[in-house]
C-alpha cells in the first residue's frame, strides 16, 4: 500500500503546478508540470477514488491542476476545440462514446455461475468525465505548445529531465528496481518482469519497465534532434548526451524500444523532414489499420514467432501468448462491435466457476475496441494520427522543407513510434496526448496552407 508520503505528493502537486505557472510562461508551465508529474509522482495504486468519479492519479491530478490554471489565468487564449472539422468531430466522439456504450450494455453478463452487472448511467457520466480529463493535455498543448519555439522547449525539457531520470535508471539497473518501494512504500508491478538478460531493467516511478524504455527512446530522439539542429559547443554537448542516452536505452533491455531507436535515430540524423513526415504517417496508418489486418489474418503471426524464436525463445513464447489472447479478445469484441462491452471487465473472458479473468489485454488497441468498440477505437487512434496524416499530405505539396519548423519531423516521428507501440503495449500517457495536441496546433496555426500551383495555360491569338 502507498505510504503517507505518496498520497501527500499527489495531493500537493497542484501547489507545485501553481508555482510553475507563476514563474514560467504558460507553455513551459504546462510542459514541465505534466512531464515532471509523469516521471516522478507515484503511480497507481496511489490514487484518490471518490464516488461517481474516475480515480485521481498521477496522470489526472496534474492535468486537472494545469487545466484549471490555464483556464483562470489564460482562459481567453485557450482553444477548446481545434479548427479542423475532422479533429473537432473526433474529439466530440471520443467524449460521447461512453454514453452510447453504457446505453447498449444495461444487461448483466454471465459466465456460467459468475456474472458481471449491467452498466448504469452513473458509469457513463464517470467515463465521459474521464475522457475529458484525458483530453486536457491535448487541449493545453494545442493552445500553448504549438509554435516552433515551443517545439524546441519540448525537446529541451525531455533532454533535461531525461538527464535526471537516467541517474535513477542507472541506480535501479545496478541495485535492482526498487526506488518506488523505498520512497513511496509499495511496489507497482511484478518484479519478475523486470529481470532481463541476466540483469535488471528499470521501472523507477512509472507503470512498467516498458514505459521507462519508451521514455528512454523519446529522450534519445529529442537529444539527437537537438544535436542535428544546433551549432558550435551546443552541438558537441548534445552529441555527447545522445551517445549517453543511447547506452541508457540499451541498458533498459527492451527489444522493441531498441528496434524503434534503430530506425528513429538514422531518420533524425540523415533524412529530410518531408520524409520524416511520411514515415510518421506510415506508422500511424499501421496503428489505425492493425485491428483490420488482424481480423483478416493478414498479420504473419507464425512467421514472426519463428523469427523471434531464433533470437529468444522466452520472447517468442510471450509473443505467442499475446497473439492468442488478442484473437480471443477480438472474437469477443465482435459480439459488441460498435460501442463495445464497457467497463468492469465485461470485455474479458472469465472463469465460469471462480470468476478469475482468463484473458490478458496488452495492446491499447484491443483494450479500446473491447471497452468502447470500433467507434471509440477510431475516435482515439484517428485523433492521435490526424496531425501526422495532415503532415503527410503537406509533404507532397511543400516546395521547400525549410518552410516548416526544423523540430517538426522529430516530434512527428516520436509520436508515430508512440502510436505504433500501442499495438503490443498499452503505453499511452499524457505525453502522447501532449505531442498530438502540439503537432495539431502547429499544422493548423503555423504551417502555410500550401496548394499545388496551377499550370498557366498559354492562349494563342
What per-residue string of b and e applies to 154-190 under the rule 16 or more CB within 10 Å gives b? bbbbbbebbeebbebbebbbeeebebbeebbbeebbe
CA distance 317 to 309: 8
Cα→Cα distances 419→38, 77, 214, 246, 454, Å = 18, 29, 11, 21, 36
Q: Which residues, other chains included, contact 461 with Cβ-Cβ below 8 Å and sequence gap of 6+? A: none
CB 110 within 8 A of CB 117: no
Could you tell me which residues are beta bridge partners of residue 195?
200
Q: What is the phi-psi region of residue 437: left when phi exceeds 0, alpha when psi lies from -120 to 50, beta otherwise?
A: alpha
* Cell numbers given for 292: 483490420
Q: Which residues, other chains included, contact 236 with Cβ-Cβ below 8 Å and sequence gap of 6+? A: none
CA distance 367 to 333: 10
Length of the chain: 461
* DSSP string for 151-162: HHHHHHHHHHHH
Nearest alpha carbon to residue 227 among 362, 407, 64, 83: 407
Angle at 387 between CA 382 and CA 393, to 5 degrees: 105
pLDDT per position as a tens digit, 314-373: 777 878 888 889 999 999 999 999 999 998 899 999 988 888 999 988 899 999 999 999
CB 155 within 8 A of CB 88: no
CA distance 53 to 195: 36
Cα→Cα distances 109→92, 120, 342, 343, Å = 29, 14, 11, 12
Dihedral sign, Cα of residue 350, residue 355, residue 360, residue 366: positive
What per-residue string of b and e applies to 414-446 under the rule 16 or more CB within 10 Å gives b? bbbbbbbbbbbbbbbbbbbbbbbbbbbbbbbee
* DSSP string for 260-322: HHHHHHHHHHHS-HHHHHHHHHHHHHHHHHHHHHHHTT-S-HHHHHHHHHHH-HHHHHHHHHH
Element (H, E) at 115: strand 114-116
Angle at 69 between CA 67 and CA 70, to 5 degrees: 60
pLDDT tens digit at each of 461 positions of the chain: 899 999 999 999 999 999 999 999 999 999 999 999 999 999 999 999 887 788 899 999 999 999 999 999 999 999 999 999 999 999 999 999 999 999 999 999 999 888 899 999 999 999 999 999 999 999 999 999 999 999 999 999 999 999 999 999 999 999 999 999 999 999 888 888 888 878 899 999 999 999 999 999 999 999 999 999 999 999 999 999 999 999 999 999 988 899 999 999 999 999 998 899 999 999 999 999 999 998 888 888 888 888 888 777 777 787 888 888 999 999 999 999 999 999 889 999 998 888 899 998 889 999 999 999 999 999 999 999 999 999 999 888 775 666 789 999 999 999 999 999 999 888 888 999 999 999 999 999 988 554 444 444 443 33
Amino acid at each position: 500500500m502507498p505510504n503517507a508520503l505518496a498520497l501527500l505528493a499527489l495531493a500537493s502537486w497542484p501547489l507545485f503546478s501553481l508555482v510553475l505557472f507563476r514563474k514560467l510562461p504558460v507553455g513551459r508551465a504546462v510542459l514541465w508540470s505534466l512531464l515532471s508529474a509523469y516521471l516522478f509522482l507515484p503511480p497507481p495504486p496511489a490514487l484518490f477514488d471518490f464516488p461517481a468519479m474516475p480515480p485521481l492519479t498521477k496522470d489526472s491530478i496534474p492535468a486537472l491542476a494545469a487545466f484549471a490554471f490555464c483556464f483562470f489565468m489564460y482562459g481567453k487564449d485557450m482553444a477548446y476545440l481545434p479548427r479542423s472539422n475532422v479533429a473537432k468531430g473526433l474529439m466530440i466522439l471520443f467524449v460521447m462514446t461512453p454514453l452510447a456504450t453504457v446505453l447498449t450494455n444495461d444487461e448483466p453478463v454471465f459466465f456460467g455461475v459468475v456474472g458481471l452487472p449491467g452498466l448504469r448511467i452513473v458509469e457513463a457520466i464517470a467515463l465521459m468525465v474521464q475522457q475529458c480529463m484525458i483530453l486536457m493535455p491535448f487541449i493545453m498543448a494545442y493552445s500553448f505548445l504549438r509554435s516552433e519555439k515551443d517545439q524546441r522547449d519540448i525537446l529541451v525539457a525531455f533532454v533535461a529531465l531525461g538527464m535526471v531520470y537516467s541517474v535513477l535508471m542507472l541506480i535501479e539497473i545496478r541495485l535492482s528496481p526498487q526506488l518506488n518501494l523505498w520512497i513511496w512504500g509499495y511496489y507497482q508491478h511484478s518484479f519478475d518482469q523486470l529481470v532481463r538478460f541476466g540483469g535488471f531493467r528499470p521501472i523507477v516511478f512509472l507503470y512498467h519497465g516498458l514505459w521507462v524504455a519508451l521514455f528512454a527512446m523519446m529522450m534519445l530522439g529529442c537529444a539527437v534532434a537537438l544535436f542535428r539542429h544546433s551549432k558550435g559547443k551546443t552541438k558537441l554537448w548534445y552529441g555527447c548526451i545522445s551517445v549517453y542516452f543511447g547506452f541508457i536505452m540499451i541498458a533498459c533491455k527492451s527489444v522493441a524500444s531498441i528496434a524503434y531507436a534503430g530506425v528513429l535515430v538514422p531518420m533524425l540524423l540523415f533524412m529530410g523532414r518531408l520524409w520524416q513526415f511520411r514515415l510518421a504517417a506510415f506508422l500511424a496508418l499501421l496503428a489505425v489499420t492493425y485491428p483490420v489486418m488482424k481480423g483478416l489474418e493478414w498479420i504473419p503471426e507464425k512467421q514472426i514467432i519463428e523469427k523471434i524464436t531464433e533470437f529468444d525463445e522466452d520472447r517468442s513464447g510471450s509473443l505467442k501468448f499475446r497473439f492468442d489472447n488478442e484473437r480471443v479478445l477480438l472474437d469477443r469484441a465482435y459480439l459488441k462491435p460498435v460501442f463495445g462491452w464497457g467497463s468492469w471487465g465485461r470485455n474479458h473472458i472469465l472463469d465460469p466457476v471462480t470468476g478469475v479473468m482468463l484473458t490478458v489485454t496488452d495492446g491499447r488497441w484491443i483494450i479500446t475496441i473491447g471497452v468502447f468498440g470500433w467507434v471509440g477505437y477510431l475516435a482515439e487512434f484517428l485523433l492521435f494520427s490526424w496531425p501526422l496524416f495532415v503532415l503527410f499530405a503537406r509533404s507532397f505539396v511543400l516546395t521547400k522543407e525549410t518552410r516548416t519548423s526544423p523540430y517538426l519531423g522529430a516530434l512527428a516521428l516520436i509520436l508515430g513510434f508512440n502510436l505504433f507501440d500501442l499495438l503490443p503495449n498499452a503505453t499511452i500517457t499524457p505525453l502522447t496526448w501532449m505531442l498530438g495536441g502540439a503537432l495539431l496546433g502547429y499544422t493548423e496555426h503555423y504551417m502555410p496552407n500550401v496548394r499545388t500551383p496551377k499550370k498557366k495555360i498559354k492562349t494563342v491569338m
